[in-house]
Amino acid sequence: MCGRFSLTTPLEEIIKQFLIDDYIEEITPRYNIAPSQKVLSLISHNGSRKAGETRWGLVPSWADINKWKPLINGRSETLLEKPSFRSLVHKKRMVIVSDGFYEWKQEDEGKVPVRFQLRSEKPFVFAGLWDRTSDGQVTSTILTTKANNLIHPVHNRMPIMLKDDKEIEKWLNTDKYSFEEASVILRSFPEDEMKSYKVSKLVNSPKNDMEECINPA
């Protein structure tokens, strides 16, 4: 799964790397993003890529917002089987921008947080879905798949990560690519293009959102 991540990359770099046409004015560096918080998201609309904020934790448009438990992750293997996702895969595909995410490894002394990044330390995006609640909020979920060999010793699932622009375009451009065509990107990211390191247990609390969260333990 994916339950916590970071985005510390300057907005100018994000705009350039992901070819964003329409974007928000600024973003604040985030070291410990948690569910229910706002996340920087991209959609494609009429051929243009637009960046804005969504609330992490999907609430379908038909759900009772007072009773529904937001879905922070969606299993990519069963998207077409789940009422919460199967209608979204055709027209409400999106990505969420990140430059690292956390998982917790069980060791003798307890659970130890581990940060995963690209070896290049450049930002990437998570494949996701979005919907609009009955009261107008735009919510989102991050899709997951089986873990690669780097992540598997820590967790058996991983978020679907994209950095290649062809893959991003295929997922975002719902006018040009059907879900069947786009679904080829729903796979594990190559472990040889990633790295990991242990970080401070400060990450354990979403109240902590400072640079110390991403420093090696």
Q: Which residues are known to be catalytic?
A: 2, 103
Contact by Cβ (8 Å): 98, 6: yes
Query: In terms of residues, how long is the chain?
Result: 217
Pairing of strands 93-98, 124-132: antiparallel
